[in-house]
Structure 1
Amino acid sequence: MLDLDSTPINANHWDIFCVVVDNYGDIGVTWRLAKQLAAEYAITVNLWVDDLNSFSHILPKLDPCRTYQTFYDVNIIHWNESSTEKYVSGSCLIEAFACEIPSSIIQKLTKLKQDSPAKLPIWLNLEYLSAEDWVEGCHGLPSCQTSGLQKYFYLPGFTDKTGGLICEQNLFSLRDSWQSDKANKLALFAELGLSGIEAEHRVISVFSYETPSLLALIQSWQTQNDPIHVLIPKGRSLNSLTSILPCSVNEVVAGQQITLGNVTLHILPMTDQQGYDRLLWSCDFNIVRGEDSFLRAQWAAKPFIWHIYPQEDDYHLIKLEAFMQIYCDNLAPDLAKPWCELNLSFNQGDQIDTVNHWQKLEFNHLPLLQHAKKWPMTALNSADLASRLVQFMKSR
């Protein structure tokens, strides 16, 4: 248990501030980063989070009613007006995804600049992951604030001129060991209360936003010759399937199985991040959304669809196109084309095209899987985000 009133705080500690958006996306990224910094670099990390209820869904042991608590050597602080009054600056302050730290902290930093400028933390704005070209030019740039303080833009990305990608040092070896034995996935499915799944059955995980494309895919899978199991949590994905569910979404419960022709829907219980990684490793295909699950699907070395968060003027499709371009750089054109078209049509909600492009990919499943296995090392580009972040701090 962390008590800011009595526990001396390491002057070299890092503070990460996170506003929980869309339930699990932003907190998923910052929680992984905080754990990695603590585990691999022995950095004392204070993770300030405004919504502990949502956070507890991916960290079940977290008590939403407690202001200070520690897990995996990370100090988790409920970010509210009372707790921020006790903020003490360390060596690094990270605003995750432009969440804007409180004015009371900015006032403390402004005073610190006047009294002891050498003790000012390096202030970073950790941005969302993007594959767009402009990321290289903006990563690491300073931005002078109206307070006179300086903040740096830290931009994750897929090239060596960006901030890199979150990836724990032992992740790929853990994944390979897991995937080398089919008994692991069957044991996981049993642990999650999923029955009727055989080792040779096709298994697809779904964690998407609402889209008619999902309904179209599931309806097309119903007529397949071989069994298909769709693993789907209670949430936004199910809102797309109301017309084929036997009950309302509110009545659906974890562990429930719904049979639709040759498709079985399995309603997943919530799991922690390690459990979600293993779920992605255990499926043949993953449909994911946001940023955290999007990146973890890539690390799973399995084919996937990325359902990107919709933005005004369809700007999200530009971000999707930028990623698809680099992902398909070494992919055969006859495979890259339907994969890109599948992702685009799924994001546009085009039911007919989504099904058509999925069916085209079925004939190229093995080459797509081979590409998915090679991609993680290409994407990681020799250094992960945490190691680049530590190096960035040293350079400043």
Structure 2
Amino acid sequence: MIPNSIDIFCDVIDNYGDIGVVYRFSKEIKNLYPKARVRVILNKLDELTRINPFAQKINHQNINGVLYIYEEFFKKNFSQYGVSDIIIEAFGCNIFDEYIEVAKKQSKLWINLEYLSGEEWVEDFHLNESIIDSKTLKKIFYMPGFSEKSGGILMDTEFLENKDYSKSHKEEVLRQYFPYLDFTNKRVGTVFSYEKNFDNLLETLNNQEEETFLILMGEKTQKSFEKFFEKNSTEDYINLKKYGKIYLYNAKFFSQEEYDSIISAVDFNFTRGEDSIVRAILVGKPFLWHIYLQDEKFHMVKLRAFLDRFRESVSLDDKENEVMDRYFKLLEDYNDRETNSFEKGKEDYQVFFQEFDTIKRICEKYSQFLIENCNLTKKLYKYIKEI
């Protein structure tokens, strides 16, 4: 099947996570199907204008060849817009009834694009068909995951092409975004988190031989560090603080493309959410993931499933396996919480910095495995082609 038109529906709920994934996804779908009409129907526009500087709060706009349409406007003008060959329902959002009724007669494929998960059950559920009352429209569940048998992870061509340049031009890239900061002879990392106590991290970094520069991204991250500085004195330079051997900079909000360049250029990344963690893994740098909090600590089940997929995907020697065990314990301790709070945690960051080079090798191996075997849009393209 070669589609002439594709509609992607997205309800923006979790800040920039859902729209972030859909933005990348639609851009890559357009890259794979350059002749097809690709539309994204959104219930909110504020977040889109933040992640792309060219986006506006208007009912209908073209960004990178993709049409972005405000959902209420789309509904009111549905007779003019009509349906598409392929419908992609992102993360279980509700597509309005009138659209579905027409799609059952005119559309060919309805894809329920689910959230990313490392749990094994997604492999069995991936590409399962959902029975609907239509003779022509087929609905399937597409399950992103960290294994070859799953739907894979989202990696857009632009990101893959640009990340290697940023990795090999660290000083140039950082100077572009932070022209007044001096990163010379410092280990540089980004921190993007939910509310969290970072006392243990700052203590560990001040015991390292080299100086560290932390780029703090997002309001929740910056407030988390402010809690520490309410009790500890620092040298202050507008948005820059110095605490012992540590420099901390409150960064502005960056577009997705800018964020991609920065995390590719720095030495390590602490990040959160689905979209950002995928980028952090793919750049092949040491990372920590602050996974989204869920009731009854179900996020720990998801984290351990991810770690299982990670472990089975890389071939390591005895030394690397020993370091991986300690690294994974840090990842678990970093996330073991019942609420997002500023309560001091039990995580010990020493392994992350003492075994930094080994962890980097492990992360590079994992990145290469995912790039070679788990490209979501390439897997989806192959599936559609064979229908």
What is the CA distance between 1:16 and its match in structure 2?
Answer: 0.5
Counterpart of 1:372? 363
Question: Is the contact made by 1:345 and 1:351 (CA closer than 8 Å) also made in structure 2?
Answer: no
The one-letter code matched in structure 1 to 2:214 is V
Q: Find the partner of 2:250 among 246, 267, 273.
A: 267
The one-letter code matched in structure 2 to 1:366 is D
**CA distance in 2 between partners of 1:301 and 1:240 (Å):** 26
1:293-312 deviation digits (Å, cap 9, x = unpaired): 01000111101011111111
What is the CA distance between 1:394 and its match in structure 2?
Answer: 2.5
**CA distance in 2 between partners of 1:159 and 1:348 (Å):** 24
Q: Answer yes or no: is 1:75 the counterpart of 2:67.
A: yes
Q: Answer yes or no: is 1:343 the counterpart of 2:331.
A: yes
Q: Find the partner of 2:210 among 217, 226, 230.
A: 226
Q: Find the partner of 1:102 among 86, 96, 110.
A: 96
Counterpart of 1:5? none
Question: Is the contact made by 1:231 and 1:265 (CA closer than 8 Å) also made in structure 2?
Answer: yes
Counterpart of 1:55? 48
Counterpart of 2:87? 93
| Residues 223 and 11 (structure 1), Cα distance of their counterparts in 2 relative to 1, 3 Å cut | closer
The one-letter code matched in structure 2 to 1:19 is D
Counterpart of 2:174? 186
| Residues 231 and 60 (structure 1), Cα distance of their counterparts in 2 relative to 1, 3 Å cut | same
SS of structure 2 residue aligned to 1:161: coil
Counterpart of 1:205? 190
Counterpart of 1:282? 265
**CA distance in 1 between partners of 2:159 and 2:101 (Å):** 40
SS of structure 2 residue aligned to 1:98: coil
What is the CA distance between 1:77 and its match in structure 2?
Answer: 0.8
Counterpart of 2:37? 44
| Residues 219 and 49 (structure 1), Cα distance of their counterparts in 2 relative to 1, 3 Å cut | farther
Long gaps (5+) in structure 2: 232-236, 338-342
What is the CA distance between 1:225 and its match in structure 2?
Answer: 4.0
CA RMSD for the aligned pairs? 2.5
Counterpart of 1:242? 226
| Residues 125 and 11 (structure 1), Cα distance of their counterparts in 2 relative to 1, 3 Å cut | closer
Q: Find the partner of 1:313 among 276, 296, 304.
A: 296
What is the CA distance between 1:105 and its match in structure 2?
Answer: 1.6
**CA distance in 2 between partners of 1:312 and 1:282 (Å):** 35
Task: Choose 54-63 or 159-168, whichever is displaced more.
Answer: 159-168
| Residues 273 and 82 (structure 1), Cα distance of their counterparts in 2 relative to 1, 3 Å cut | closer
The alignment covers a number of residue pairs equal to: 367
| Percent identical | 29
| Residues 314 and 387 (structure 1), Cα distance of their counterparts in 2 relative to 1, 3 Å cut | same
The one-letter code matched in structure 2 to 1:227 is E
| Residues 236 and 18 (structure 1), Cα distance of their counterparts in 2 relative to 1, 3 Å cut | same
1:233-279 deviation digits (Å, cap 9, x = unpaired): 241222323323469xxxxxx97112222222111111221111111
What is the CA distance between 1:83 and its match in structure 2?
Answer: 4.0
| Residues 384 and 268 (structure 1), Cα distance of their counterparts in 2 relative to 1, 3 Å cut | same
SS of structure 2 residue aligned to 1:242: helix
**CA distance in 1 between partners of 2:190 and 2:365 (Å):** 21
Question: Is the contact made by 2:190 and 2:217 (CA closer than 8 Å) also made in structure 1?
Answer: no
TM-score normalised by length of structure 1: 0.85
Counterpart of 1:325? 308
What is the CA distance between 1:160 and its match in structure 2?
Answer: 2.5
**CA distance in 2 between partners of 1:187 and 1:51 (Å):** 34
**CA distance in 1 between partners of 2:180 and 2:361 (Å):** 28
Counterpart of 1:297? 280
| Residues 294 and 220 (structure 1), Cα distance of their counterparts in 2 relative to 1, 3 Å cut | same
Task: Choose 214-223 or 267-276, whichever is displaced more.
Answer: 214-223
| Residues 13 and 153 (structure 1), Cα distance of their counterparts in 2 relative to 1, 3 Å cut | same
Question: Is the contact made by 1:85 and 1:104 (CA closer than 8 Å) also made in structure 2?
Answer: no
SS of structure 2 residue aligned to 1:236: helix
Task: Choose 358-367 or 162-171, whichever is displaced more.
Answer: 162-171
Counterpart of 2:234? none
Question: Is the contact made by 1:96 and 1:126 (CA closer than 8 Å) also made in structure 2?
Answer: yes
Question: Is the contact made by 2:128 and 2:141 (CA closer than 8 Å) also made in structure 1?
Answer: yes
Long gaps (5+) in structure 1: 1-9, 114-118, 248-253
Question: Is the contact made by 2:117 and 2:145 (CA closer than 8 Å) also made in structure 1?
Answer: yes
**CA distance in 2 between partners of 1:90 and 1:377 (Å):** 35
The one-letter code matched in structure 1 to 2:44 is D
What is the CA distance between 1:106 and its match in structure 2?
Answer: 2.1
1:4-43 deviation digits (Å, cap 9, x = unpaired): xxxxxx9821011111122111111111111111123313
The one-letter code matched in structure 1 to 2:264 is W
Counterpart of 2:240? 257
1:90-141 deviation digits (Å, cap 9, x = unpaired): 111011110111123223334xx2xxxxx32311110011111101100011
What is the CA distance between 1:145 and its match in structure 2?
Answer: 4.3
**CA distance in 1 between partners of 2:207 and 2:147 (Å):** 42
Question: Is the contact made by 2:41 and 2:74 (CA closer than 8 Å) also made in structure 1?
Answer: no
TM-score normalised by length of structure 2: 0.87
